[in-house]
């Protein structure tokens, strides 16, 4: 049981790391630019599709990943330049409508380009084995690699945000936007930069998960909701909050799904336990969010604006 628990913990951390990569960009865009971007999940999907396309062309995982990262960065910049730039001054409702429309347009565009059948990205042979844990339990090397890549990215973001000038501007922008621009900082360029990096991180998440999940239209929407949960739990605008929130959501969701029914079985009969378990499991994350917001209305690391 303990080794199963360890295994599920690893699964949860891996899921959390992935959520962090998506939520990091979302929380910065929402926190610093006060911009609600429903199309953030689309960047995750586009990253995965570009990864599939480039690995097919180059035949190499590493080259495909690099090209996909560069291409999502360009795609993000293009979106910012063509669409989002015009929406910053608008109300949240306009932003929601416009970005939701964008979700449909990009989904349909991807379908026209790549067809409706899901695509697949071959796993690099170097990372395709599994590590034996206790007994029959094994853990795929690739998932370990995802965890490592996510942690390295988180560390890099932490260094940039806490120890560079740009990071200082970002932190300042998140709490006192008008003051930052009054001090003569080119806010528009800062926004473009934030957006591009956020887009690339989401694209990175899509690209590295593509050997595990099928690349499919609509894959962005399923993670977007959880990404919003993550940034609300962590506190909007806080990278540290997004990191802890993502790990929390990943671990709680995974453990809730696997051990919830087992725990319930100790207090009720098996049939009722499995019925309650499968009803409760998808709710656990939202219950967690409600509980955290009850204790800390601005999230774990959010600043109270009032």
Contacts with another protein, residue ranges (CB under 8 A): 4, 7-8, 11-12, 14-15, 111, 116-120, 123, 128, 130, 135-138, 140, 142-143, 211-214, 216-219, 222, 254, 257-258, 274, 278, 281-282
Q: What is the rounded CA–CA span in Å between residue 280 and residue 296?
A: 24
Q: How far is the CB of 10 from another protein (least distance, A)?
A: 8
The owner of tokens 């990253």 is 47
Considering the complex, state which of residue 34 and residue 221 has its C-beta at the smaller distance from another protein. Answer: 221
Structure tokens at 68: 């996909």
Q: Identify the three-state secondary structure at position 132.
A: strand
Q: How far is the CB of 2 from another protein (least distance, A)?
A: 11
Which CA distances in Å does 246 have to 187, 189, 241, 242? 28, 28, 8, 6
Q: How far is the CB of 114 from another protein (least distance, A)?
A: 12
Beta strands in the chain (DSSP E): 130-132, 138-140
Instruction: Name the phi and psi angles at 117, rounded to 5.
Output: -70, 140
Considering the complex, state which of residue 3 and residue 91 has its C-beta at the smaller distance from another protein. Answer: 3
Pairing of strands 130-132, 138-140: antiparallel
Q: How far is the CB of 176 from another protein (least distance, A)?
A: 39
Nearest-CA neighbor of 173 among 231, 183, 39?
183
Considering the complex, state which of residue 138 and residue 164 has its C-beta at the smaller distance from another protein. Answer: 138
Q: How far is the CB of 80 from another protein (least distance, A)?
A: 28
Considering the complex, state which of residue 219 and residue 232 has its C-beta at the smaller distance from another protein. Answer: 219
Considering the complex, state which of residue 148 and residue 166 has its C-beta at the smaller distance from another protein. Answer: 148
């Amino acid at each position: 049981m303990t080794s199963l628990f360890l295994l599920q913990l690893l699964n949860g951390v891996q899921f959390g790391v992935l959520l962090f990569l998506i939520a990091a960009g979302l929380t910065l865009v929402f926190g610093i630019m006060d911009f609600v971007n429903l199309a953030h999940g689309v960047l995750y999907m586009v990253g995965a599709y570009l990864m599939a396309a480039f690995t097919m062309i180059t035949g190499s995982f590493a080259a495909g990943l690099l090209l996909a990262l560069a291409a999502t960065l360009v795609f993000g910049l293009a979106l910012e330049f063509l669409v989002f730039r015009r929406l910053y001054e608008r109300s949240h409702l306009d932003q929601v409508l416009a970005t939701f429309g964008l979700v449909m347009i990009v989904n349909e565009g991807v379908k026209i380009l790549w067809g409706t059948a899901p695509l697949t990205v071959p796993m690099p042979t170097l990372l395709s084995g599994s590590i034996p844990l206790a007994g029959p339990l094994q853990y795929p090397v690739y998932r370990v690699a995802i965890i490592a890549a996510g942690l390295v990215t988180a560390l890099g973001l932490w260094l940039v945000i806490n120890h560079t000038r740009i990071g200082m501007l970002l932190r300042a922008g998140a709490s006192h936007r008008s003051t930052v621009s009054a001090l003569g900082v080119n806010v528009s360029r800062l926004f473009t930069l934030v957006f591009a990096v956020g887009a690339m991180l989401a694209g990175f998440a899509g690209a590295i998960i593509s050997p595990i999940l099928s690349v499919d239209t609509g894959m962005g929407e399923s993670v977007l909701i959880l990404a919003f949960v993550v940034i609300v739990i962590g506190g909007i605008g806080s990278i540290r909050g997004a990191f802890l929130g993502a790990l929390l959501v990943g671990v709680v969701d995974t453990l809730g799904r696997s051990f919830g029914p087992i725990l319930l079985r100790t207090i009720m009969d098996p049939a009722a336990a499995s019925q309650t378990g499968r009803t409760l499991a998808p709710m656990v994350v939202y219950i967690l969010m409600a509980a955290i917001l009850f204790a800390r209305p601005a999230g774990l690391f959010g600043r109270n604006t009032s």
